[in-house]
Structures are given as structure tokens and as C-alpha cells.
């Protein structure tokens, strides 16, 4: 498969998006399945981490401020694609004892109730941590979303001030600009996500509009088991997890449906 026209301004991002689309086509070839979607998401997660690690390794020693226990970026709305959400839910259901899974489900639902009507600007607050943040660490780190894998910062102090100082937070939201980061890992994660969206939307007619993480996990942990199968049949069972912004936030936007895939070499 090949892109009919560029999705990104830089060729290397288009190459990554094309590779992700071909991987999706190979994994989901034939009739898509829930297990196939989960496998695809895990492949994409691993690929994003490898790319981000390779890109960050080129940075000067000590330039990247992110460290274990540094959680300043874990207090905001996070966009995920349906396969990512399925992989996270599968991880929780297959690794946690029943009692712990029930506790996590209750916590996710409580967080969802607090944030379900909030726009992304109001979600950026120390009052609204990610439901999977535990003692400053990610409880689902193994299956964390693609967008989380590309994030990085050059100044942890700046991140802390931007989140926790009301005036700095208001100024940051008014400007609409991100903090100082190496952009290549972020762009790599965006390219992989775009490849997934393109391939599953255009080739298999699946609803690949990104979801809000907390809302999606609430839906998958408390909703019917048939939800994933309904999605594979081309329905839109994830609609309630689209988030309050409904596409206004770049992380929760529409898939790039107008820029599809054209037949090329068989992957």
C-alpha cells in the first residue's frame, strides 16, 4: 500500500505512516478480529517506543528532563485510537486479579464522572490526574497510549510550573503552545497513529476517530462485552467516548479520511 498524497510535510513522517498502514493491513488482513486489533496496537506501541528511544538517544546528554516519577504531563485529556483502548482494557483484564480489576474499574468510572463534560483546557489541571497514575507512575506503562510514548520535555521545572501555578497555566492555555520538547519523537508517534487511522478507516471501514482515554476505558470496563465486536462490524459504539471537545482538540480529531491509501506492492 502507498499514500495517494502526503499526510505530513516531512517525508520521513509519511514513510512511517505508510509503514504503519502496511503493518495494519498485514495484521488485519481478511476479516478483522478483536485479537488482531489488540496485536496491532501492541505492535504500534512497541514501534513508537523504539522510534522515540532512537530519536531521543541523539539528544545531548542530560537534555531530556523526563524521569521515572515525573508525572507533570499526566494531568490532561489523552487521545487514543480504538485499538489502543482495546489493548489497554485487555491488559487490565488479563493481568489484574478480580478484586483489583474491580477497584480500577471503580476508579476509572469516578474519574470519568468528574471529567466527562470538561473541555480539554479544563482537563489540564492538577485536579484531574490520569486514572492510571499511581504514586507518580503509570500503572499501564506497558500499554500506555502512543501519544504518551512520544512525549518528552527539556525542562521538568517548566512543566511543573505550567501545571500547578494557576497564572502560568492560564497563560499557557491562552497561548495554545506546548512546552519545550524534542519534536521528532512526538511527530513519530503522530505518524504511526495516522497510519493506523488511515488503514483501518479506509481499508476496513472501521470508525477510527480518536477517543478520550478515560471515557474509552470507562466504556470498555463497564459496558457490554459485545462493544468491540460492534466496532468491528462497522458500527460506532465508542461514540460516547469521543470527549467533550468533539474534535476541537487536535488529539481528539477526525481521521484523515480524505487522504487514503492507493494500491501498491503487496506488503
What digits encode the pLDDT tens for the residues 135-173? 999 999 999 999 999 999 889 999 999 999 999 999 888
Average predicted confidence (pLDDT) for the chain: 89
Convert the pLDDT of each residue in 250-267 to its tens digit.
Answer: 343 444 444 455 554 443
Q: Residue 267 has what pLDDT?
A: 39
Per the model's pLDDT, the better-predicted residue between 46 and 2 turns out to be: 46
Please say if the pLDDT value at position 182 is more than 50: yes
Mean predicted confidence (pLDDT) in 170-197: 88
| pTM of the predicted model over 0.75 | yes
How many other CB atoms are there within 10 angstroms of residue 76's CB atom? 18
Q: Residue 226 has what pLDDT?
A: 95
Tell me if residue 262 falls in helix, strand or coil. Answer: strand
Q: Residue 31 has what pLDDT?
A: 84
Mean predicted confidence (pLDDT) in 220-237: 96
Please say if the pLDDT value at position 77 is more than 70: yes
Q: Residue 180 has what pLDDT?
A: 81
**% the chain with pLDDT above 90:** 73
Q: Residue 178 has what pLDDT?
A: 65
Q: Residue 255 has what pLDDT?
A: 45
- Residue carrying the nine cell digits 541523539: 58
Q: Residue 243 has what pLDDT?
A: 74
Burial (CB count <10 Å: 0-12, 13-18, 19+), residue 265: exposed
Contact present, 145 and 84 (Cβ < 8 Å): yes
Q: What confidence category does residue 16 fall into, taking pLDDT thresholds of 50, 70 and 90?
A: very high
For residue 241, CA distances in Å to 112, 123, 142, 143, 151 come to 10, 15, 22, 19, 23
Tell me if residue 59 falls in helix, strand or coil. Answer: coil
List, in sequence order, the alpha helices (H) in the chain. 11-28, 34-56, 82-95, 98-115, 120-123, 146-150, 156-164, 166-175, 183-204, 213-222, 227-232
Contact present, 219 and 238 (Cβ < 8 Å): yes
Q: What confidence category does residue 194 fall into, taking pLDDT thresholds of 50, 70 and 90?
A: very high
Per the model's pLDDT, the better-predicted residue between 178 and 62 turns out to be: 62
Amino acid at each position: 500500500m502507498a499514500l495517494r498524497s502526503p499526510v505530513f510535510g516531512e517525508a520521513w513522517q509519511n514513510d512511517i505512516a505508510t509503514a504503519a498502514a502496511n503493518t495494519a493491513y498485514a495484521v488485519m488482513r481478511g476479516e478483522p478480529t478483536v485479537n488482531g486489533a489488540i496485536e496491532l496496537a501492541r505492535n504500534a506501541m512497541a514501534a513508537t517506543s523504539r522510534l522515540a528511544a532512537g530519536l531521543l538517544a541523539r539528544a545531548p546528554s542530560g537534555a531530556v528532563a523526563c524521569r521515572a516519577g515525573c508525572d507533570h504531563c499526566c494531568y490532561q485529556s489523552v487521545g487514543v485510537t480504538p485499538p489502543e483502548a482495546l489493548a489497554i482494557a485487555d491488559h487490565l483484564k488479563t493481568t489484574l486479579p478480580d478484586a483489583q480489576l474491580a477497584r480500577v474499574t471503580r476508579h476509572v468510572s469516578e474519574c470519568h464522572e468528574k471529567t466527562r463534560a470538561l473541555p480539554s483546557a479544563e482537563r489540564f489541571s492538577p485536579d484531574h490526574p490520569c486514572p492510571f497514575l499511581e504514586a507518580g507512575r503509570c500503572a499501564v506503562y506497558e500499554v500506555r497510549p502512543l501519544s504518551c510514548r512520544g512525549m518528552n520535555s527539556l525542562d521538568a521545572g517548566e512543566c511543573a510550573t505550567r501545571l500547578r501555578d494557576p497564572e502560568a497555566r492560564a497563560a499557557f492555555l491562552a497561548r495554545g503552545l506546548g512546552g519545550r520538547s524534542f519534536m521528532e519523537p512526538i511527530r513519530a508517534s503522530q505518524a504511526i497513529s495516522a497510519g493506523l487511522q488511515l488503514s483501518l478507516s479506509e481499508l476496513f471501514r472501521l470508525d477510527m476517530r480518536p477517543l478520550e482515554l478515560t471515557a474509552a476505558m470507562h466504556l470498555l470496563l463497564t459496558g457490554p462485552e459485545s462493544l468491540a465486536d460492534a466496532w468491528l462490524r462497522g458500527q460506532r459504539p465508542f461514540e460516547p467516548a469521543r470527549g467533550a471537545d468533539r474534535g476541537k482538540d487536535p488529539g481528539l480529531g477526525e481521521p484523515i479520511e480524505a487522504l487514503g491509501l492507493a494500491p501498491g506492492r503487496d506488503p
